[in-house]
Amino acid sequence: MDKVQIIQKTEEFIKSKLTGEGSGHDWWHVYRVWKMAVQIAKQEQVDIFVVELGALLHDIADWKFNDGDEEIGPALARNWLESLEVDENVIIHVCRIIHDISFKGAGVVTSMKTKEGMIVQDADRLDAMGAIGISRAFAYGGSKGREMFNPALKPEKHDSFEQYKTNRGTTINHFYEKLLLLKDLMNTDTAKKIAENRHAVMEKFLNDFFLEWEGND
């Protein structure tokens, strides 16, 4: 099976698995990350095959929906890629990207080891920013039964992954605990430029939100 067929089958597999998911981690999230990763990869000297597979499979089993299990995503991705007889070195690379991609708290370093991984991570983080990121934040918060905002609950800096995993803060707090931090965590120059505008969109939204909250708009 050639690379084009492998990508096509992987697209179909993930689409069938995640279509209709309601927390913002659905097929269309994966689709956007995939297309953005390809766009960024065109500016870099990288293995585009690894980038595409990493992007398509990065949310195959997110720890947030699997009791905090960081290993289930890479394990399922490996099973899928082995079924397609993908080269073992590619499988190792893709599984490492999936394992390392997630934001794990403001005080936790989550650096990628390869350029391909950096690109997929940038694409995933860009989809958590801007107008799409705002929409996804509230979709996820609603799916987890979280309050939209509560002035009595302040944002927290999570110094460990365990703290981040067990956090039950509000959706608005999530902007300060993660989303507004992403601009300065981009790896590639292409992503850094895109992130500037998306960051500004979120800042304006929060400003408008608090004006309306206090009835000062």
pLDDT value of position 116: 97
pLDDT value of position 202: 98
pLDDT tens digit at each of 217 positions of the chain = 899 999 999 999 999 999 988 888 899 999 999 999 999 999 999 999 999 999 999 999 765 544 545 678 899 999 999 999 999 999 999 999 999 887 665 555 667 889 999 999 999 999 999 999 999 999 999 988 999 999 999 988 765 556 555 667 899 999 999 999 999 999 999 999 999 999 999 999 999 999 999 887 7
In single-letter form, the type of residue at position 152 comes to A
Domain boundaries along the sequence of the chain = 3-213
Number of residues that make up the chain? 217
Class for the domain spanning 3-213: mainly alpha
Nearest to 151 by CA among 214, 202, 217: 214
Q: What is the pLDDT of residues 33-62, one digit of tens each?
A: 999 999 999 999 999 999 999 999 999 976
Residue 207 region, left (φ>0) first, then alpha (ψ -120 to 50), else beta?
alpha
Rounded to an integer, what distance in angstroms lies between the CA atom of residue 203 and that of residue 72? 35
**Phi and psi, residue 108, nearest 5°:** -110, 125
SS3 for the chain, per residue?
CCHHHHHHHHHHHHHHHHCCCCCCCCHHHHHHHHHHHHHHHCCCCCCHHHHHHHHHHCCCCCHHHCCCCCCHHHHHHHHHHHHCCCCHHHHHHHHHHHHHCCCCCCCCCCCCCCHHHHHHHHHHHHCCCHHHHHHHHHHHHHHCCCCCCCCCCCCCCCCCHHHHHCCCCCHHHHHHHCHHHHHHHCCCHHHHHHHHHHHHHHHHHHHHHHHHHCCCC
Rounded to an integer, what distance in angstroms lies between the CA atom of residue 106 and that of residue 131? 22
